[in-house]
Structure 1
Amino acid sequence: MKHVTYSSYSISAFGFHSPSIDIIMMRDPLPNIIALPYGKCPPMHIQATSWRQLLKLMAKLSATQIEPSVEASAVTKGELNLRTVVQFFKVHHASSDWRTVIYLTIDYPPPPEHRYANGDVNVLPYSYNLSSLPTLLRDGPASQVSKYYTIPATSRTPLPKLPITMPSMAMYLASALEDSRRALNDTSSGVRRLAKMVDQFYPNEEDTAAAGEEEVRRRGGRALIGRLMGRASKPQRGRNADVYDLVTPFVPDEWG
């Protein structure tokens, strides 16, 4: 799997190896198809300099799609869902800058004897335990230099179904952040952690992100999320118009 960087964005990379903390300018083209294996394989990751830069990058990659590998489709029946973990990490202890990386695997049901808290945002999905963990995930959900958050399946934001395009994946992440913001006053779960980390690590992006999320709610972006995640909904206006509304807050220079 190759790495990729676009000159209009800050450092971005992807692959099945452990994310690098070194700044490397990579210019290889991103493949149109990113095939995920099923079972024993390290998670794929996508890295950017910030949460907003990550969503901007993904929203721009309309030609790229994430889908099960041929082998994964052959050994499974029915729908395959994506399990996503968001991580923020420092390049070194003295740094005040936090990078954003997401990890992706195909959901894998745990065996009956395995104790797994499916909705716990501080516990990695079972599919992440099937191979060696990337180095940055080994320190747990909250260390001094790295913190991760497992996006839970909710009634508002179910697990994405494969295949999924990069812009649709960006909308899924935006929806997960919206769910987290709605839970800011809920101390009974850890769902609010994602919003608190995004606001803490990227304070200069807070106002822009909040305005973008309000635009999503106002213009019916939630209904589009439902369709992209496979939920039935009433007919809406043209899909292209909805996609435009949903990604505009993240790429105003390209879409606005």
Structure 2
Amino acid sequence: MADQGEQSDTTHFGYKQVPTDEKASHVREVFTSVADKYDVMNDLMSLGIHRIWKRYTIELSGVKRGQRVLDLAGGTGDLASRFARMVGPEGEVVLADINAAMLRNGRERMIDKGIVGNIDYAQVNAECLPFPDNYFDCITIAFGLRNVTDKQKALGSMQRVLKPGGRLLVLEFSKPVTPGLKPIYDLYSFSLLPLMGKIIANDSESYRYLAESIRMHPDQQTLQGMMEEAGLERCDYHNLSGGIVALHRGFKL
């Protein structure tokens, strides 16, 4: 598949096949459409549980005062705002996203919270990060990797800019492992989720894509293998909410 490093003329966009070089623009359109309702929909879709998943990510980040943190696909800044407080004025947090509308919303939220001085903003493609080698102590990407066209290339790019001793945390929807959960989750994803998108964001198709993109994302073991292939070590993962979400972790040694 194209998103695992092989050359191909097409790749998946949800369940559809699109030209590989057009996927990023399709993803950009989805998130431009949902940007203004992103936080409201996150709370509704997960019944607020996404905050617990993100809190767990922060706990496992090991971020300390004075460190540099890159929050990729950072959206409206849920993780970046916490990291900015953790690293203090002598540290640095980069809130990065490929989508200008999401990044703009994130920046406005940070300013509203009074978070300035130690946070920067960058519109970037995760596959080709414009940062020096061995630069960040910690990199996070929450619910963003599944939208990347070439996931293997992106993981390699993250490994490159990570300092020796640093860690990468990938929080992403995954494959349910609790018996009996999958049919309930499928019903919710393909019936209720697009309906909520239509009612709240006036956009059912974008949320149908989100449900499909989750199903096309590598499962826990596959993603762990991809992180190892990218040069990360001591890779592991923690299933959350019965495997609906998994937090993957890898270190650059």
- Band of TM-score, shorter chain: under 0.3
Question: How high is the TM-score relative to the length of structure 1?
Answer: 0.22
Question: How high is the TM-score relative to the length of structure 2?
Answer: 0.22
Question: Quick check: which one's helix share is greater?
Answer: 2
Question: Quick check: which one's strand share is greater?
Answer: 2
